[in-house]
Amino acid sequence: MRKISDSDLKNVQLMILDLDGTLLNREGKLPINIKNSIDSLLKMGVYITFASGRVHSSIIKYANLFDIDIPLISLDGALVKNKSGNVILHKAVIRPSVVKKAIKYAETNLIQIGLCHEDEIFHNEDSATLPMILEKAGAKYTEVNSFEKYIKDTLEIVCTSDNKKSLEQMARRLKFPFSFGNTVNVFRSRLYPNIHYLECRKAGSSKGNALYKLLKYLKVKEKNALVAGDWYNDISMFNTDAIKVALKNSIQKLKLKADIILKKSNDEEGLNEILEKIIFLKS
């Protein structure tokens, strides 16, 4: 664990905060104390944005709450775009041939599949329960008779199944040497014990790479950025030289990479500990 000084925290110019499990409590609500702290930091000139596995449209309400118009990181880095839509730092559309291959494999192996676009997730009748078990809070789900019209603009392919081996086999089919240019991850659900997920994005799309794009855009040094997260999709941010903050409820892999481990969980407003300290140091 790297030692972070008060001086390091005082010099923080950019914060990238995960939403679910970090900023928000388990009910998906933003505690008023954390809201007040973010308001204070913004007034002090600190850039703050959000990084999430959610689709872009479901993050905008938090940007509106604080009137934040620097780019937001959605779909775990597949899209880096501000709420106004006039600044797009990264938009990685998956090749149609890969999307078609994933759909065919899912249909053959009874795997539920959804295609994530900027603002909604498309699924068919065979994946009717996808909206209930997919952990993409706030997303708009649309059931379609055919995926044909929605293949072209897919930013992320998401699949769910209670058969982890089937998802792992699918993951292999979507990676080299069977397919090129994709990043594919299989991981367990944090809410449903028997459910696993597969996520496929274009290679180079991650929260960590999105961080570097934001640093360049805002002209902020890596050491003057702070990231906070709790889950597997936050690991890429914790592989950077930014100040890394994990909560009590964060997975062990993040805690091992963290510079600061907070004593409280997201349900205990844990993030406010570090926010209040930075406010104090900057005052």
Q: Beginning with the edge strand found earlier in the chain, give each strand of the sheet holding 120-123 in spatial order.
A: 140-143, 120-123, 112-116, 156-161, 196-202, 182-188
- 180's tokens: 């090129």
**Bridge-partner residues for 90, per DSSP?**
80
- 263's tokens: 């004593």
Instruction: Residue 248: name the closest of 224, 273, 280, 227 by CA.
Output: 273
In the chain (283 residues long), the average pLDDT of successive 10-residue segments reads 94 98 95 98 98 95 96 97 97 96 96 96 95 89 96 96 96 89 91 92 96 98 98 96 98 97 98 98 97
- 205's tokens: 């799309």
Task: Please state the separation of Cα 47 from the chain's center in Å.
Answer: 18
- Tokens 């890394």 sit at which residue? 244
Q: Beginning with the edge strand found earlier in the chain, give each strand of the sheet holding 47-51 in spatial order.
A: 88-91, 79-81, 72-74, 47-51, 14-18, 225-229, 243-246, 260-261
Q: What is the pLDDT of residue 280?
A: 98
Among 3.40.50.1000, 3.40.50.2300, 3.30.70.870, 3.40.1030.10, name the CATH number for the domain at 6-91+205-282.
3.40.50.1000
Q: How far is CA 159 from CA 33, 109, 198, 280, in A?
A: 36, 11, 5, 44
Does 96-202 carry CATH code 1.20.1090.10? no
Q: What is the pLDDT of residue 178?
A: 84
Q: What is the pLDDT of residue 176?
A: 84
- Domain-wise residue ranges, the chain: 6-91+205-282, 96-202
Q: 96-202: same fold as 6-91+205-282? A: no
Q: What is the pLDDT of residue 137?
A: 84
